[in-house]
């Protein structure tokens, strides 16, 4: 792959004096590396080099979409909520108190960011989209709309009837006045369920934690992740249910979140 040559050329151009936008510079560099013998203004055919996936992403907007990296912050946030602000023994009670103190505006701002991410994943990564849409979805937005003590709630419910895609769902919640609303129970359940799921996913895949069944059997890494996936995909599984499984996983593996 020509990625190493691309990066070297980018740094070289950054040290030069020719004014250009970052996006245009990156596109020029990739074209030079992949088509070194082409003239400065190549033909239409030469303007369509065969990039690999990473190179094409950089060429389009200078950004590599990688949805799997930032989800680890969910686990860090979960442990902060579990212990409260005073490093108390971890418990669901501490978690509920911390989340309960957050204002209703937090739930809406978080939802806006989440649905925007989902609108991107729906096009780029169907697997990641499904994991996240399992918890934050149209049904949650509908419940949140019902908690709005203003005409915005009725208007949002009307708009939601026409929503057919994740992008439309994201756009439907913009410009909503949530100040006079109440916190949605559906949002609380989704927040807890998603937090527990992604925390356990990280614990199993990256921290050597395995599921201990009630029979005493200890599942290996792959079987543990399948167990989690099946549980998460079950529509009857609540956020509280996943939270209880997460607490058991942490205790069974003596996981020390500080190290």
The per-residue pLDDT for range 163-191, each reduced to its tens digit, is 999 999 999 998 899 988 999 999 999 99
pTM: 0.73
Q: Is 114 in contact with 136 (CB distance < 8 Å)?
A: yes
Cα–Cα dist 209/255, whole Å: 8
Task: Annotate 53-96 with DSSP letters as a single string.
Answer: HHHHHHHHHS----TTTTTHHHHHHHHHHHHGGGTPPP-HHHHH
- Among 144, 122, 143, 123, CA closest to 133: 122
Kindly tell me if the per-residue pLDDT of 12 is higher than 60.
no
Cα–Cα dist 177/149, whole Å: 9
Alpha helices in the chain (DSSP H): 3-14, 22-34, 53-61, 72-83, 92-100, 104-124, 126-133, 138-146, 151-160, 166-172, 185-206, 221-233, 239-252
CB-based contacts of 247, cutoff 8 Å, min separation 6: 90, 92
Segment 193-238, tens digit of pLDDT: 999 999 999 999 999 999 999 999 999 999 999 999 999 999 999 9
Segment 46-59, tens digit of pLDDT: 444 444 554 554 44
Decide which of 134 and 175 is more confident. 134
Cα–Cα dist 180/155, whole Å: 15
Segment 71-108, tens digit of pLDDT: 778 998 999 898 876 777 889 999 999 999 999 999 99
- Give CA angle at 169 (164, 172), nearest 5°: 120
Q: How far is CA 3 from CA 8, 49, 122, 143, in A?
A: 9, 14, 27, 47
Cα–Cα dist 41/27, whole Å: 13
pLDDT at residue number 69: 46
Q: How far is CA 26 from CA 51, 68, 230, in A?
A: 13, 24, 43
- Among 207, 204, 242, CA closest to 223: 204
Cα–Cα dist 5/158, whole Å: 53
CB-based contacts of 172, cutoff 8 Å, min separation 6: 141, 156, 159, 160, 163
Decide which of 248 and 88 is more confident. 248
- Mean pLDDT rounded to a whole number for the chain: 81
- Among 71, 88, 68, CA closest to 80: 88
Q: Which residues pair with 218 in a beta bridge?
A: 212
């Amino acid at each position: 792959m020509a990625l190493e040559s691309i990066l070297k050329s980018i740094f070289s151009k950054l040290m030069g004096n020719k004014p250009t936008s970052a996006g245009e510079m990156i596109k020029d560099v990739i074209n030079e590396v992949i088509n070194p013998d082409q003239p400065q203004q190549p033909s239409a055919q030469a303007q369509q080099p065969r990039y690999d996936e990473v190179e094409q992403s950089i060429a389009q907007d200078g950004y590599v979409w990688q949805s799997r990296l930032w989800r680890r912050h969910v686990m860090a946030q979960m442990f902060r909520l579990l212990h409260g602000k005073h490093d108390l023994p971890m418990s669901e009670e501490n978690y509920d108190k911390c989340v309960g103190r957050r204002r209703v505006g937090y739930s809406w701002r978080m939802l806006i960011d989440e649905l925007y991410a989902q609108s991107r994943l729906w096009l780029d990564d169907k697997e990641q989209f499904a994991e996240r849409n399992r918890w934050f979805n149209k049904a949650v937005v509908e419940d949140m709309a019902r908690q709005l003590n203003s005409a915005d709630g009725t208007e949002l419910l009307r708009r939601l009837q026409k929503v057919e895609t994740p992008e439309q769902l994201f756009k439907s919640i913009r410009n909503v006045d949530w100040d006079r609303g109440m916190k949605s129970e559906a949002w609380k359940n989704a927040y807890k369920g998603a937090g527990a799921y992604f925390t356990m996913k990280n614990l199993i895949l990256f921290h050597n934690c395995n599921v201990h069944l009630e029979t005493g059997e200890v599942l290996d890494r792959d079987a543990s992740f399948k167990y989690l996936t099946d549980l998460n995909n079950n529509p009857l599984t609540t956020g509280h249910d996943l939270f209880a499984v997460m607490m058991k996983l942490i205790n069974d593996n003596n996981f020390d979140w500080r190290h």
